[in-house]
Chains A and B, each alone.
Chain A
Amino acid sequence: MNQEQLPWVIKEGPRTDRDITVYALSTCGFCKRALAFLDHKGFRYRYLYMDQIPVDTKNEIKAELKATFNEYVAFPFVVLDGKSHLVGFIEPDWVRTLGL
């Protein structure tokens, strides 16, 4: 599906070297922590609250992510540069993966 038409929120930041896409839930503490982490580190990224889009659309996105990354989708689910991913928020893992 064409995800570009979805209600993405773009967060600007001075670090633009990584293409970061976050699939999150507006109700989730770890998702909020993950977004705050990216803000604090100054990354430019985009996020989508999956609980605020139609269920059919959400399920389609989840199926695409599962097929692409061979992993069930839990939140936050982050796609880096379109080719790798992180699931959940464990700060040391994010620090290492983002090369901080």
Chain B
Amino acid sequence: MTEKTVEQTRTFTKMVAAKQGWVLNPDAAFYEILAEGLTTNWNRHGYFLCPCRDSDGSRETDRDSICPCLWSKDDIATQGHCFCALYLSPEFAASGKTPGSIKDRRYGD
């Protein structure tokens, strides 16, 4: 497995945001924690496990939590941001609100 740098992770998140029409968290310090967390998870597990979720131990069981996670589209549409608040809807970002934790739908609605 080739290790990734934080810069490579930043590029990944920018590509995801651009493709989906999302906005990266504008709080630079918060964004950096998440970019570094994603990088740690890549270098630890071999995939971009959500930085706010822990591994169940295998790629197969973690599949739904690999960034962008299974619930990201719906959470961003309904809550304004994804579970870890890496990606925001343009409307939420424009509102100036600060994201807070939301329910982890990995464990059901």
**Stretch in A2-10, A14-22, A39-47, A83-91 with 4+ CB within 8 Å of B:** A83-91
Cβ–Cβ contact A89 & B51, under 8 A = no
Which of A25, A51, A72, A91 sits near B100, CB closer than 8 Å?
Answer: A91
**A41-75 interface bits toward B, Cβ cutoff 8 Å, 1 = contact, 0 = none:** 00000000011000100100000000000001011
Q: Is A97 on the interface with B (CB-CB < 8 A)?
A: no
**Stretch in B14-22, B30-38, B70-78, B88-96 with 4+ CB within 8 Å of A:** B30-38
Cβ–Cβ contact B107 & A72, under 8 A = yes
Residues of B within 8 A of A31 (CB): 52
Residues of A within 8 A of B36 (CB): 27
Cβ–Cβ contact B37 & A26, under 8 A = yes
Closest 7 CB pairs of A and B: A88-B101, A27-B37, A90-B100, A27-B51, A72-B107, A28-B52, A74-B104
Interface size on A, residues (CB 8 A): 21
Residues of A within 8 A of B41 (CB): 27
Residues of B within 8 A of A82 (CB): none
Q: Assuming A28-B84, A30-B85, is B54 touching A72 (CB within 8 A)? A: no
Q: State A66–B84 Cα separation when bound (angstroms).
A: 21
Which of A55, A58, A75, A90 sits near B52, CB closer than 8 Å?
Answer: A75
A75 → B minimal CB distance (Å): 6
Cβ–Cβ contact A29 & B55, under 8 A = no
18 contacts between A and B (CB under 8 A): A25-B53, A27-B33, A27-B41, A27-B52, A28-B33, A28-B51, A29-B33, A29-B37, A29-B84, A29-B85, A31-B52, A51-B54, A51-B55, A74-B101, A87-B101, A88-B101, A90-B100, A90-B101
